[in-house]
């Protein structure tokens, strides 16, 4: 009998202990739920504060000069100046923030008129079946960290008629470069984007007349402490197959083309720094690092061409000049000298076949790398790019010495 009572007591205490454990589990789960609710609220508040910071920065630092009668339309993470005459924005200002590093939102594709435009904006019918893309000025991917900001990027006030070969290719590459800069530096990047508008442009549109710009611009700048990094780009509304940085221009050139002063609220010394800043090499990110701009035609020896111009000289004799940014060797021992952009994105390359390497008195890889040279011969198309075969060192001139290596 004593053994039975002992067993019953043990069972009782075991049940009591299990109930205590269950109670503690429930309490812990409740605490976790409460903390999760708090975290959700904190994240909402953090996002709200970030949007307020962006709005404040745009309003205080990024509003360009306005002509008589012009107004600024503010959205959650961008501002714009809408031209009723051209039915698109003259400029859109926004900030690419480092939150894009962790942002994972997909395109919302909710294109719609902008209700904040007093005279009404363009709409779907104005673009439909015209052959032109609804080109974002402030790209939707720049807002992939916030659903509201992403959705507002689909207002027609943020659209402009772009040729598909621009919008889907080189313009997209430019937008990628801007985001890559933010990813690499973990700093916000201040952006202006717009069309270059003028009277007499052709139009599309059924209910409104939307001007078709001939050119577009983008301005980007980063101010970190006393360091200013800035650049601008101008693209034709057409296929622009050259390297992204070849479309880079000084900011004051965009101001001249548009008639807009983009920095009227900044101190004069800072504005001067921004407008004078033109260092494309600082924008070489990732695979672009180590590439250089093609030599400007105004800086070429008379009668010579650069790596981009070589595309127009197939099956013709020419002297092509550029910077050797990489040299590759095939398994067969052939050497490929890549101009201005590294393999496999080179703009032009010169080939020295293995059988002709004996005609060079120097180590080609060591001697030519990072040098600005000109090569003479017949330009041929190879894999869709201009190329040239070099049989001996007399066909190579070093630009910086204006002489051949053998002399």
- Mean pLDDT, range 181-198, rounded to an integer: 94
What is the structure's pLDDT at 313? 93
Give 257-300 pLDDT, tens digit per residue.
Answer: 999 999 998 888 888 888 877 888 788 776 667 788 888 888 89
Q: How confident is the model at residue 207 (pLDDT cuts 50, 70, 90)?
A: confident
Letter string b/e over residues 132-160, b meaning 16 or more CB atoms within 10 A of that residue's CB: bbbbbbbbbbbbbbbeebbbbbbbbbbbb
What is the structure's pLDDT at 232? 96
Residue 317: partners with Cβ closer than 8 Å, 6 or more residues away:
376, 377, 378, 379
Separation of alpha carbons 45 and 325, rounded Å:
48
- Max distance between CA atoms of the chain, in angstroms, equals 117
Residue 399: partners with Cβ closer than 8 Å, 6 or more residues away:
295, 301, 321, 371, 372, 373, 374
Separation of alpha carbons 160 and 174, rounded Å:
16
Whether the ω angle into residue 344 lies within 30 degrees of 0, i.e. cis, is yes
Residue with tokens 């060192």: 393
- Mean pLDDT, range 231-244, rounded to an integer: 93
- 184 against 59, higher pLDDT: 59
Q: How confident is the model at residue 130 (pLDDT cuts 50, 70, 90)?
A: very high
**Three-state DSSP class for residue 100:** helix
What is the structure's pLDDT at 8? 52
Separation of alpha carbons 192 and 102, rounded Å:
23
* Residue 360 confidence (pLDDT) above 60: yes
What is the structure's pLDDT at 13? 59
- Closest CA relative to residue 47, chosen from 95, 99, 3: 99
* Residue 42 confidence (pLDDT) above 80: no
Separation of alpha carbons 345 and 347, rounded Å:
6
Separation of alpha carbons 352 and 393, rounded Å:
10
For residues 368 and 341, the answer to whether their CB atoms sit within 8 Å is: no
Both tokens of 202, joined, read 């052709």
For residues 340 and 350, the answer to whether their CB atoms sit within 8 Å is: no
Give 302-316 pLDDT, tens digit per residue.
Answer: 999 999 899 889 999
What is the structure's pLDDT at 403? 47
- Mean pLDDT, range 179-204, rounded to an integer: 95
Q: How confident is the model at residue 405 (pLDDT cuts 50, 70, 90)?
A: very low
> Which of 36-50, 138-152, 226-240, 372-386 has the lowest average pLDDT?
36-50
Domains, the chain, ranges and CATH?
A: 59-288 (3.40.570.10), 297-404 (2.40.50.140)
What is the structure's pLDDT at 7? 55
Mean pLDDT score across all residues of the chain = 89
> Does the predicted TM-score (pTM) go above 0.85?
no
- Mean pLDDT, range 33-60, rounded to an integer: 86
């Amino acid at each position: 009998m004593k053994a039975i009572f002992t067993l019953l007591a043990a069972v009782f205490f075991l049940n009591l202990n299990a109930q205590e454990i269950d109670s503690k589990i429930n309490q812990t789960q409740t605490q976790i739920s409460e903390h999760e609710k708090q975290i959700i609220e904190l994240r909402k508040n953090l996002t709200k504060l970030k949007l307020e910071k962006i709005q404040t920065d745009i309003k205080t630092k990024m509003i360009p000069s306005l002509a008589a009668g012009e107004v600024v339309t503010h959205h959650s993470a961008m501002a714009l100046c809408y031209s009723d005459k051209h039915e698109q924005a003259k400029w859109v200002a926004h900030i690419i923030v480092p939150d894009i590093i962790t942002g994972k939102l997909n395109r919302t594709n909710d294109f719609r008129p902008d209700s904040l435009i007093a005279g009404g904006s363009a709409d779907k019918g104005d673009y439909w079946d015209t052959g032109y893309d609804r080109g974002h000025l402030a790209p939707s991917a720049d807002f992939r960290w916030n659903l509201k900001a992403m959705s507002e990027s689909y207002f027609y006030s943020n659209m402009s008629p772009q040729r598909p070969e621009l919008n889907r290719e080189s313009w997209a590459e430019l937008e990628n470069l801007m985001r890559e800069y933010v990813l690499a530096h973990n700093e916000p990047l201040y952006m202006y984007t717009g069309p270059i508008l003028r009277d007499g442009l052709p139009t599309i549109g059924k209910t409104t007349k939307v001007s078709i710009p001939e050119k577009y611009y983008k301005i980007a700048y980063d101010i970190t402490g006393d360091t200013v990094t800035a650049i601008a780009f101008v693209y034709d509304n057409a296929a622009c197959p050259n390297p992204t940085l070849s479309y880079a221009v000084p900011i004051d050139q965009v101001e001249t083309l548009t008639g807009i002063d983009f920095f009227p609220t900044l101190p004069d010394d800072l504005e001067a720094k921004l407008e004078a800043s033109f260092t494309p090499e600082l924008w070489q990110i990732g695979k672009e690092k180590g590439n250089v701009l093609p030599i400007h035609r105004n800086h070429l020896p008379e009668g010579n061409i650069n790596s981009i111009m070589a595309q127009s000289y197939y099956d013709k004799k020419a002297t092509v000049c550029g910077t050797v940014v990489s040299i590759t060797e095939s398994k067969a021992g052939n050497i490929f000298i890549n101009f201005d952009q590294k393999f496999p994105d080179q703009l032009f390359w010169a080939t020295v076949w293995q059988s002709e390497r004996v005609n060079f008195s120097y180590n080609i890889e060591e001697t030519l790398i990072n040098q600005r040279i000109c090569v003479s011969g017949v330009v041929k198309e190879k894999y869709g790019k201009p190329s040239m075969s070099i049989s001996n060192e007399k066909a190579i001139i070093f630009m910086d010495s204006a002489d051949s290596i053998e002399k």
